[in-house]
Amino acid sequence: MKNSIKVERAKLNLTQQDLADLISVSRQTINSIEAGKYVPSTVLALKIAQVFKVPMEEIFELEESD
């Protein structure tokens, strides 16, 4: 699953640590999500979307392999 968290973070000038603190996860988790190594749960994905104030499907996108 692709995601645009890095782009959204840049728009708000947030670091990985800032985003991690806002949604109560570790920076490593944010890094893994951005790198596509970890697919977040629906709850976490909704929390991320809430921070960026955009619909979830604008951040996360299914790939052919999904």
Rounded Cα distance between 47 and 66, Å, is 22
- 30 close to 16: Cβ distance less than 8 angstroms: yes
Task: Report 9-28 residues binding another protein (CB under 8 A).
Answer: 16, 24-26, 28
CA nearest neighbour of 61 among 18, 9, 1: 1
Q: Is the Cβ of residue 44 or residue 64 nearer to another protein in the bound state? A: 44
Of 3, 9, 40, 52, the residue at the interface with another protein (CB under 8 A) is: 40
Amino acid symbol at 52? F
Q: Is the Cβ of residue 36 or residue 55 nearer to another protein in the bound state? A: 36
At closest approach, how far in Å is the CB of 52 from another protein?
Answer: 19
